[in-house]
Structure 1
């Protein structure tokens, strides 16, 4: 036995009264069974599967490491062709290194995912006959270790020494030195004690001495610039702090490479930059 419910809108004369008053009619009730996906908190997503990002969403911090929505993160490629030997697999990145800079210039950052788990195992999509998702171990990028000078790492080392440091690298150690949660990190200085971000009085001497020690060679493209062309060679502070003249914080860069550093695009408007490009890059 079945029966139909009455149309309560008409039964109560509600719409009849609305018609007489020339008011809008009441709409029939229609249940909405649509459900919204539940978004996990950013922290949980970063520590598990990771988050697909556009590079515009990733921040390069003063120490060269990477951040996303208040958390320090790692970058890696999620889609891979097949599972091979660990040495042949993509690397994960913990700093804005030469490799990431090259990828940015080639507009290939859409291939990356951010995460910050510390197991060394990353969720990837294996693109073979059928796409399958699994967790695999990846090695850290050597250029990243060089960027943050991890445990004295230097690309000028022998391959054997570099691979020893790569195999011994542990993400828990990294996140102890560079905490994940940026909001929980207490600043080293207050507004009253923070040093002014200005060059030291002896900066001209420090700059020239650093160029001499590095053989007047650009640390990125390896061009050597001396004598009349030395004005095209700059000394760059890795962490953006102009008063921090530790040797490990200084890079010698030609003006062409210096202008490609984060937040240095303004250099491309300089006459020296234009002259350098005309003379050496064309």
Structure 2
């Protein structure tokens, strides 16, 4: 029997609700990117060759993913490393002098790459007591020369207790978050961070709380009604189940990653451009001192700004926009307009600035210059 029912009204309602296309695939993803991310997210890491390592950004990366490099072989110290008695071999995050020395000595093949945020690394060695091969997972510490190379949190100029505190409180998740704008291929937060810990009604709690502050960041004041996904609800204490309003704070994704007690949080360069564009439009970009400059600047240039302040540079412009013509603009993360000098993240902005007669460096080039 032929059906003659008019379904046009039903389809009109479907169109109004928006189309939904199911992506249902029982096949396991064996794409090269999937395998790469799977290896890099493990505590065992990925074997890499010297030519695989990318150094253009100052921090280390492999195929566009920011990574840590570590040596799994702990030799005869393996028992003490696994027992937490010895720190073990340091892992690297930047193109420091130690890593450069290892390359020159042709000892680079000892390293593995990972972006696992647990702080645990799969290591092995030969027991000094028994002579047996031993393996397991151990906590390793960051290389101090890497912290100095990046001037991480002011480590380069720190002394005594503050310098020791920066080293002792170094957090991998926080570090990867702070430099995530330099990379286009870093994994999403869901691939790195355990989703557990939040209460079952967290989505509703978060939405309701952000609505009470009219979807404005309680740190920098930016109004994010136009893009609510960039406004998060932060647990001040770090306890993800403590949802009392006194423990909650609405923060834009940039301010959120600058807080203690958060997991890995990827912030793209595009997100930062959007946020700072809104901040400028909303009159929130008044910078009169170095602290204010660092508060609104991309975290990837924080160490550079601390260095420039200590070195007596004049206060720079942050997120400086130059109109080349009516259709073309380029943006510098840090700029000294009177000197026509600046730092940019986007390769297109670097090229445009240089063509326009500016001395524009990448973040990696600026870090290299700082360490000369």
TM-score by length of 1: 0.53
Q: Which runs of 5+ in 2 are unaligned?
A: 1-29, 187-267, 271-344
**Is the counterpart of residue 100 in structure 1 residue 99 in structure 2?**
yes
**Is the counterpart of residue 58 in structure 1 residue 53 in structure 2?**
yes
Measure, in 1, the Cα distance between the counterparts of 2:370 and 2:48.
Answer: 29
Measure, in 1, the Cα distance between the counterparts of 2:358 and 2:347.
Answer: 23
**Paired residues of 1:72 and 1:182 also in contact (CA < 8 A):** no
- After superposition, what is the alpha-carbon deviation per residue over 1:184-235, rounded to whole angstroms, capped at 9, x for unaligned? 64465484785434797799xxxxxxxxxxxxxxxxxxxxxxxxxxxxxxxx
Measure, in 2, the Cα distance between the counterparts of 1:190 and 1:56.
Answer: 21
The SS at the match of 1:123 is: strand
**Paired residues of 2:119 and 2:172 also in contact (CA < 8 A):** yes
**Is the counterpart of residue 239 in structure 1 residue 364 in structure 2?**
yes
Measure, in 2, the Cα distance between the counterparts of 1:43 and 1:87.
Answer: 30
RMSD of Structure 2 on Structure 1 (CA) = 3.5
**Paired residues of 1:76 and 1:93 also in contact (CA < 8 A):** yes
Q: Which has the larger radius of gyration?
A: 1
Equivalent residue runs for 1:164-175 within 5 Å: 164-175=165-176
**Is the counterpart of residue 151 in structure 1 residue 276 in structure 2?**
no
Match of 2:136 among 130, 134, 137: 134
The 1:38–1:250 alpha-carbon spacing in structure 2 relative to 1, beyond 3 Å, is: closer
Aligned-pair distance for 1:54? 1.5
Aligned-pair distance for 1:126? 2.2
**Is the counterpart of residue 44 in structure 1 residue 38 in structure 2?**
yes
Aligned-pair distance for 1:146? 1.1
Measure, in 1, the Cα distance between the counterparts of 2:102 and 2:74.
Answer: 16
Q: Which runs of 5+ in 1 are unaligned?
A: 1-36, 204-235, 242-247, 254-282
TM-score by length of 2: 0.41
The 1:77–1:197 alpha-carbon spacing in structure 2 relative to 1, beyond 3 Å, is: farther
The SS at the match of 2:122 is: strand
Task: Report the counterpart of residue 76 of structure 1 in structure 2.
Answer: 70
Aligned-pair distance for 1:164? 1.2
Measure, in 2, the Cα distance between the counterparts of 1:176 and 1:112.
Answer: 23
Task: Report the counterpart of residue 250 of structure 2 in structure 1.
Answer: none
The 1:250–1:237 alpha-carbon spacing in structure 2 relative to 1, beyond 3 Å, is: farther
Measure, in 2, the Cα distance between the counterparts of 1:190 and 1:38.
Answer: 28
The SS at the match of 1:79 is: coil
**Is the counterpart of residue 176 in structure 1 residue 171 in structure 2?**
no
